[in-house]
């Protein structure tokens, strides 16, 4: 049986699994993100154990970042300038390659999630779409004309700048680089600090916090629609699980665009255009397994 290993490396937790190209995920485990030494030891232990039982053919790693994706760079495979200082300049791919003599796929966590959704979730059959995660951070991944979006480095679109009306929201934002960029105003930690609660989870569904949150996300989404012209946008991450938030974001995005983009998907069908992930919490790990499959196929081609 053809099986692959996948790692969804997040800032809070790592998910490791073995899976098939059909999208079936097996033997999934969750490891807290502490230090590279501690966390990676557990990741390696998981795959070593499974390698004895199930001969998987490749491993896909979808990682939090920023990461170096340029294969020509000496830092290819590194987490580069993470705010998590212990993971700064850490060769996350290299550590695994030293142990496992297998083909490796490597991309951002959000591009991984986008790939997972394209294969098995809400983006089946699409070639140009975006995946946004709103949680501890805000991240953007995407497939553009069939290929994962990379460019010079990779998108860091959680940090885009949007209108911020200080007369209505005097909160100055928490981004250490930009203060009131999107992530500084609308990430989970920003909600927590603005409303002085222990967790964004403590705010009730009818709190005005969620109207403000919907507005900031809608401005960002409008910008992404105007810039990328995607066929669909998938909204994942912990903050988006809030009851009613997706609906608010849909309505606000349509209001902000104000009929400018004359496409029926946006004008009359936005509930099927801005959507929740089809794979719920498994977009990332399914995408990591898909990355492994692609790496395996490329390794077969390279042999000839």
Residues 92-131, interacting with a second copy (CB under 8 A): 128
Residue 71 in the binding site for a second copy (CB under 8 A):
no
CB of 22 or CB of 269, closer to a second copy: 269
Q: Is 163 in the site for a second copy (CB under 8 A)?
A: yes
Q: Does 81 bind a second copy (CB under 8 A)?
A: yes
Binders of a second copy among residues 264 to 283 (CB under 8 A) are 265
Q: Does residue 186 interact with a second copy by CB under 8 A?
A: no
Interface region with a second copy, contact rule CB under 8 A, candidates 25-33, 51-59, 177-185, 188-196: 177-185
CB nearer to a second copy: give 35 or 70.
70
Span interacting with a second copy, options 22-30, 229-237, 275-283, 288-296, rule CB under 8 A: 229-237
Q: Which is nearer to a second copy, 38 or 127 (CB)?
A: 127
Tell me how far, at minimum, the Cβ of 261 lies from a second copy, in Å.
7
Residue 32: exposure state from Cβ atoms within 10 A (0-12, 13-18, ≥19): exposed
For residue 41, the minimal CB distance to a second copy (Å) is 28
Q: Does 144 bind a second copy (CB under 8 A)?
A: yes
Nearest residue (CB) to a second copy, 177 versus 300: 177
Shortest distance (Å) from residue 12 CB to a second copy: 21
**Count of residues binding a second copy (CB under 8 A)?**
46
Q: Residue 46, interface with a second copy (CB under 8 A)? A: no
Block residue for tokens 């154990």 = 49
* Phi, psi angle pair for 56, to nearest 5°: -75, 155
Positions that interact with a second copy (CB under 8 A): 66, 80-81, 128, 140, 144-145, 147, 149-164, 177-178, 180, 219, 222-224, 226-231, 256-263, 265
């Amino acid at each position: 049986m053809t099986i692959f290993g996948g790692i969804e490396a997040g800032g809070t937790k790592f998910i490791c699994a073995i899976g098939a190209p059909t999208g079936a995920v097996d033997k999934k485990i969750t490891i807290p993100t502490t230090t590279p030494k501690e966390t990676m030891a557990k990741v390696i232990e998981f795959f070593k154990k499974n390698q004895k039982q199930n001969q998987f053919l490749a491993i896909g790693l979808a990682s939090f970042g920023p990461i170096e994706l340029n294969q020509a760079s000496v830092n290819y495979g590194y987490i580069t300038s993470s705010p998590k200082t212990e993971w700064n300049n850490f060769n996350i791919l290299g550590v695994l390659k030293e142990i496992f003599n297998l083909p490796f796929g490597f991309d951002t966590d959000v591009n991984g999630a986008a790939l997972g959704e394209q294969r098995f979730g809400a983006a089946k059959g699409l070639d140009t779409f975006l995946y946004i995660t709103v949680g501890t951070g805000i991240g953007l991944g995407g497939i553009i004309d069939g290929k994962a979006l990379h460019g010079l480095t990779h998108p860091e679109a959680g940090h885009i700048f949007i209108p911020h009306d200080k007369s209505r929201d005097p909160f100055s934002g928490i981004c250490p680089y930009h203060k009131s960029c999107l992530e500084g105003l609308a990430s989970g930690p920003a909600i927590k600090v603005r409303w002085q609660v222990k967790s964004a989870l403590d705010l009730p569904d009818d709190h005005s916090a969620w109207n403000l949150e919907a507005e900031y996300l809608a401005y960002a989404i409008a910008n992404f629609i105007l810039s990328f012209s995607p066929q669909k946008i998938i909204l994942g991450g912990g903050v988006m699980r809030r009851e009613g938030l997706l609906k608010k974001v849909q309505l606000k995005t349509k209001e902000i665009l104000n009929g400018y983009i004359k496409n029926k998907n946006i004008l009359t069908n936005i509930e099927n255009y801005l959507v929740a992930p089809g794979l719920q919490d498994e977009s990332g790990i399914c995408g990591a397994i898909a990355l492994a499959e692609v790496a395996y196929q490329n390794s077969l081609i390279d042999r000839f």
